[in-house]
Every structure is written in structure tokens, then in C-alpha cells.
Amino acid sequence: MKILVPVDFSDQSLLAVQAAADIASEQKGEIVLLHMLDIPNFYGTDIIRELNSDESFFMMKGAKQKMEEFEGKIKQEDVEIRTEIRLDNTYSGIIDFADEIAADYILMGSHGASGLKEVFVGSNTEKVVRRSNVPVICIKDYEAGLSFKNIVFASNFYKESDTVLPYLKQLIKDFGCKVHLLRVNTERDFETTWYSRKVMEEFINSSELGSECTINIYNDDSVESGIMRFANEIEADAMVVSTHQRRGLNHWFNGSLGSDLVNHAVLPVITFRIKK
């Protein structure tokens, strides 16, 4: 298993590395730490070629020194850790590098966001969640012995859910998860219990998940709050959802469940991007 951990040398980054180390230690996996020397969007990647050698040298030298200091804070000796420093736009660079090294997961620490910042700006974590081809694990808090043995997979279980099945099956294979399938009913998106159960049973029968699954239907004011409340009630280790590649005004008006959970949930959130 290869886990990519983007780091900015903050305490939140160290938390993410500690969580990744727990997982990698159990799975005999490898951790790759990536630091992006960010290029603002309005410059474009052509600026890389325009930087003179002195500027490039001092930027990389400073980043390498910080990376060495950061590595010194990591207290994990039985896990292979390698580092990489890249000059690129932060979130697109993370996504491209994850594809380049064939990472199995991206693990990121998240501070969360709210209000206008959440709507118009968002965080790099939230942007990676929306666009990554690789499953993304987002955490806010860290406790030693992190594991994903008891997870909630929330969905409507319609046809588009089939596109994330390979990710879900791999997650189950990697961590030996017990999966609680969850459909949240809201006033705006209501289904009768018998119909929801029928759809979820068909999903189980056709998906061949190879794991113990429970079927759960939960009523709440919103899908987001329903997932979080249910996950807390069953003491889940993580919440798993699929997310759409929505940007700009489309993201503002339509929202993204994965992004909302990353911003607001305390439990770890694992996201899979729905393929068109």
C-alpha cells in the first residue's frame, strides 16, 4: 500500500503523517511525503521555466531544510518514508503526483472551513477531495491505533454508485472493514423504507462486496447531519462517501456531500470520486 501525504510542515500535517504511519505499519505500506512550493493559479505553470537558477535554488534549499526538520518530528521507525518537493499549483500538483506514483490513498489533515470561505475559497484538502482520481482520507483529530474496521458507506445506492464499487471493495480488502450501508431520508429527498431497503439489497447482491454489511435507513434534516449522527451512534471509525467533480458556481449551488463532511465532520472521511 502506498499512501501519499501532502505536508506544509504544520501541526495538522504532522497529525496526518502520524495517522498514515499507523495505517502503513499495519499494512506494511509506504508513505510518500509531498511538499508543494505553490504557484498561484494566475501565473500558470510556465512560471517554472521563467524562474532563474538563484530563485529556484533558494526556494528548494529552504523547502528541503524544512522537510528535514519535519522528518525529525516523526516518531515511526518501522515504516518506509520517502519525501518529494515539487514546484506547482498546490491542489492540482497533489492530484497529478498521486497519479504519477500510483498512490493507493491520499491522506490529508483538514482544518475545515465555514461561511464565505467555504463557499468561495475552500481549502486545498476540499479541492483535492472533489478532483482526485485516488481515494482521499481526511482527518481532523488523531488517536493512536487509527483503523477503519467499522465504517459507514452513505449513498442513495442508485446506478452511479456502481462506479465507486472498485474503490469500496479495495477499502474492504485493505482494512477488513465491516460496512454499514446508509441511506439518509430528508424532507426534500424522501423514499419509503421498503423501497430504500429494496434498492440497498439489490446493491449488496449485485456488488459482491465480500464483507459483512448492514442496511440502515435514517431520517434527518439533511444528508450530511444524518450521516454524522448515525456514524456517532454506532461509534464508526470513518464515514465513506462518493463525491462529484463540481467547481465554481456549480459547486456553490449544488454542493458536494464529500466536501461538506470534510469541512464539518470530526470523524475521518474517506471519499471516492464518481466517474462519469
Q: What is the pLDDT of residues 48-104, one digit of tens each?
A: 445 445 566 677 788 888 888 888 887 666 788 899 998 877 888 899 999 999 999
Residue 60 lies in a domain: yes
Same domain, 99 and 170: no
Taking the C-alpha atoms of residue 213 and residue 180, their distance in angstroms, rounded to an integer, is 6
248 vs 166 pLDDT, higher one: 166
Same domain, 204 and 260: yes
Mind listing the pLDDT tens digit for each residue in 152-201?
A: 999 888 877 778 888 899 999 998 889 999 999 988 888 899 999 999 99
Same domain, 186 and 77: no
Mind listing the pLDDT tens digit for each residue in 85-98?
A: 988 778 888 999 99
pTM: 0.83
Domain boundary among 109, 135, 162: 109
Structural domain boundaries enclosing 183: 150-273
Taking the C-alpha atoms of residue 237 and residue 270, their distance in angstroms, rounded to an integer, is 11
Whether pLDDT at 249 is above 80: no
Predicted confidence at residue 102, as pLDDT, reads: 95
Same domain, 180 and 90: no
CATH of the domain at 87: 3.40.50.620
Q: Residues 6 or more apart from 181 whose CB is under 8 A from it?
A: 153, 155, 157, 200, 203, 204, 213, 214, 215, 216
The share of the chain scoring above pLDDT 70, in percent, equals 78
Taking the C-alpha atoms of residue 21 and residue 9, their distance in angstroms, rounded to an integer, is 16
Same domain, 73 and 157: no
